[in-house]
Amino acid sequence: MSTNNSNSDKKVHRTVAVLKLPKTISLLITMVQGILKALTGNPTFPTPNPPLPALSGAANDLQVAETAALTRAIGTIATRNEKRAALLTLLEVLRAYVQSVADASPENAISIIESAGLAIRKTTVHAPRLFAAKVGTVSGSVKLTAPVAGHRAAYLWQFSTDGGKTWIDAAPTLQSKASLTGLPAATTVQFRYRAVIKGGAADWSPPISLLVH
């Protein structure tokens, strides 16, 4: 068995606050009113950003501008559109604020976001790849993976069968993975790598061990 377990296949779920913006002005204002009600006196959000009076004022301004735009008077539609854009800017600031609070308590993120009157989207983020080794499909084979060093990088690989006293070069690759064959079966082998980029070669990584089958 490997003494180094890769977490490159693990996934991290993040709960994301989103704004489901309605198409009509009247529904947008109704949505904002619901958010204002949800945030007023909400202990989870003691200092909303933007302040609730600013958000309320922007919604009221849009309501007035929408009423004027219905008259089709010259300039009223442009003014209505400007007020809508201003309100949407404040809503995006608010969404980012709610997200920051949710990120600080990921186990409660869903209830936090919902308590602010916002919608939820779950995203999956892959955990960063670590240097890892796993047994290959045939006896004496091993597959190695390493973090990506960049778009233009080469990777040097070595293995040791005597506990790191001597190291044997494996074929270099242009990808952050390698397949080694012909290793002694039923033997614990150590592996290490280093990336070579335009600025030069990095240090050798700390070795990892694997019992080769």
pLDDT in tens, 45-76: 999 999 999 999 999 999 999 999 999 999 99
Average pLDDT, the chain: 92
Q: Report yes or no: 129 and 146 within 8 Å, Cβ to Cβ.
A: yes
Radius of gyration of the chain from Cα atoms?
28
Q: Give the residue, 198 or 1, on which the prediction is more confident.
A: 198
Structure tokens at 185: 């079966």
Residues 6 or more apart whose CB falls under 8 angstroms from that of 182 comprise 140, 141
| pLDDT number for residue 126 | 64
3-state SS assignment for residue 206: coil
Cis peptide, bond prior to residue 50, ω within 30 of zero: yes
Q: How does pLDDT run across 160-198, given as a tens digit for each residue? A: 999 999 999 999 999 999 999 999 999 999 999 999 998
φ, ψ at 16 (rounded to 5°):
-115, 130
How far is Cα 185 from Cα 161, in angstroms, rounded to an integer? 11
How far is Cα 209 from Cα 135, in angstroms, rounded to an integer? 11
Q: Report yes or no: 100 and 17 within 8 Å, Cβ to Cβ.
A: no
Domains delineated in the chain: 14-125 (no CATH), 132-212 (2.60.40.10)
Instruction: List b or e across 8-34, with b for residues whose CB sees 16 or more CB atoms inside 10 angstroms.
Output: eeeeeeebbbeeeeeeebeebbebbee
How far is Cα 178 from Cα 192, in angstroms, rounded to an integer? 11
How far is Cα 122 from Cα 208, in angstroms, rounded to an integer? 34
Least confident of 1-15, 145-159, 183-197: 1-15
The sign of the CA dihedral 131, 136, 139, 140 is: negative
User: Confidence class of residue 12 from pLDDT cuts 50, 70 and 90?
Assistant: low
